[in-house]
Amino acid sequence: MMDIHQILTLLPHRYPILLVDRVLEIETGKRIKALKNVTINEPFFMGHFPKHPVMPGVLMIEAMAQAAALLSFSTLGVAPDDKTVYYFAGFDGARF
């Protein structure tokens, strides 16, 4: 498990782009189960299918990329430093 304070030490993202609030489970090298608390007050809901709010797919993918980074750091036993930049390079077969 990982709380928001631990996440903030590993990811450079901050509000409104930080899309992982908590890690519920990590199976090192295999899988991660993370949580993002979403409310109707999120700014993207006002314009993304008004009257039928849907979290945009690109934000869902970003949340998965952030969770994947946390899984990678856990698996490799490393933490990023201020001199290192990590980029999300691709996502195959995304469907919504």
Residues noted as catalytic: 48
And the tokens for 9? 């030490």
Question: 3: Cβ–Cβ under 8 A, 6 or more apart, which residues?
Answer: 22
Q: In the chain, what are the helix, strand and coil shares in percent, each to the nearest 5?
A: 30, 10, 55
